[in-house]
Structure 1
């Protein structure tokens, strides 16, 4: 899976980290980031739900071969 985080759009709401804490966290400034080693979603079924939970749509998730999803 490919996961994209638009840093210019992210407002630091933290919904992604609450929905999929094994994949997402927040940096020192409070913005969404991927946990080290989890850049591919680590097989978590919650990644797409975390993307839907983002109030500003800063997260995209798609199949690795689907370059248009990120």
Structure 2
């Protein structure tokens, strides 16, 4: 699954620079995560970095974008050009 940012976001700006895929950007009102770029940090880190730094815990899994760890790894390879 990709991650998503809920409306509990306080726009603190700490998640965006932590994303190794550049999946997080400022939306109209709150930050948003591009599910096409989000790998939940698979291939980069053991845990999603945005979740680790979020002070209000507003970055859950996106139930509309269901992906396995294997699919997330395939996306990592496609985005970075690195091999698994």
Q: What TM-score range do you get, normalising by the shorter chain?
A: 0.5 to 0.7
Q: TM-score, normalised by structure 1?
A: 0.62
Q: Which has the higher strand share?
A: 1
Contiguous gaps of at least 5 residues in structure 2: 69-84
Structure 1 or 2, whichever has the larger Rg, is: 2
Aligned residues: 61
Q: Which has the higher contact order (CA 8 A, sep 6+)?
A: 1
CA RMSD after TM alignment: 2.9
In structure 2, the CA distance between the partners of 1:35 and 1:53, relative to structure 1 (3 Å rule), is: same
Give yes or no for the alignment of 1:27 onto 2:30.
Answer: no
Deviations 1:10-64 (A, max 9, x none): 10111110111611111133x11013732xx147436711111111001124873
- Equivalent residue for 1:58? 58
For residues 3 and 36 of structure 1, the distance between their equivalents in structure 2, rounded to whole angstroms, comes to 7
Unaligned runs of 5+ residues in structure 1 are 66-70
